[in-house]
Amino acid sequence: MDLDLRQVRYAVTLAEELHFGRAAAALTIAQQTLSSQISALESRVGVPLFTRDRRHVALTPAGEIFVKRGRRLLADAQRMVDEVARTQAPLRIDVLTEGLTPSLITQHLRGESPCLPFEVFQSQGLAAALPRLLAGDLDISFGRPHGLGQDLPATLGTMPVRLEPIGVVVPTDHPLAAHDEVTLAALADHPLLVHTAEEAAEWRDWIDEAINDFSLQVALRVRGHGRTAIHATVLARGYPAFGLTTGGLPDGLTARPLFNPVPLYPWHAVWNTQTAAPTVNRALELIHTYAQDHHWHQFPDRTWWLPDIDRNHLPGPS
């Protein structure tokens, strides 16, 4: 006999509640649906499992046996699903470093695919992730593919994910901290700390493009990894640095949006089209939907800036 596990779950839930209304609510189905499914199950097994009248519901002797075995059946089915899920190859994602857009995306993917195992890497830059993507040792990375100084290999696919406004991180006693927003012209009056990882060629190129386009001054160039290191260096040296206006900051620092124009950082998802598993394609669909739901593809209402090479490769206003 082919049993429908859904009907088994309905019978077990009804046995726990002994009330059609409460059982239907627990199952989030209509009471009429529950009643008809229980009747269909009893017809299938050939004996009544419940006695019911207007006042109460009770298990028959056959129903007690069915529910006892049904609980075991449902538990075994869940164990089977869990064991099969654990055999899946993990989705290997490179978030570059902590606290960036790729980390938010990975948190979303974990929530949408709780049974899928993940391996998360921090390469500190897309340039460093490319060899692993090409070798098939990494499924998805993120970054700015047009700032690497070379074209991406043809086997790698890219998908725009976010146009992220970049602000400035400053000590709370810095003159720029007195403004709610900071213009690029005002930023040009204050020498910058340029803090980048050696592996983050695309981020370093973005900063250099902004420096050239807006005649910004450089006070100090430092190599280092991660937002924590950037924040510590800004605190220690007292110079402003490009950074995010979202996320936590240590005491003594604040972040201000930049405008006139708003500088944008173009995040892309990058993957190997020749080695992509079905889980990669599903992840890309979820990333695209998440980006659309959060309006990450939209340009600001005010004037904005991108390096020319990124502007030429993105759809939308130019």
What digits encode the pLDDT tens for the residues 103-156? Answer: 999 999 999 888 788 899 999 899 999 999 999 999 999 999 988 888 899 999
Give the model's confidence band at 85: pLDDT under 50 very low, under 70 low, under 90 confident, else very high. low
Same domain, 53 and 122: no
Same domain, 68 and 114: no
Please write the tens of the pLDDT for every residue from 279-297: 899 999 999 999 999 999 9
pLDDT of residue 150: 84
- Which residue carries 């006042």 as its tokens? 55
Token pair for 33 = 């649906």
Same domain, 47 and 158: no
Domain that holds residue 62: 5-86
Name the domain count of the chain: 2
C-alpha to C-alpha distances, 51 to 16, 37, 38, 42, nearest whole angstrom: 14, 15, 11, 11
Same domain, 74 and 126: no
Same domain, 66 and 104: no
Same domain, 81 and 100: no
- 175: helix, strand or coil: helix
pLDDT of residue 315: 64
Chosen domain end from 67, 86, 105: 86
10 Å CB burial of residue 173 (0-12, 13-18, 19+) is exposed
Same domain, 172 and 187: yes
- Which residue carries 């695919």 as its tokens? 113
Same domain, 80 and 217: no
Same domain, 222 and 282: yes
Question: Where residue 34 sits, what CATH number does that domain have?
Answer: 1.10.10.10
Question: Where residue 279 sits, what CATH number does that domain have?
Answer: 3.40.190.290
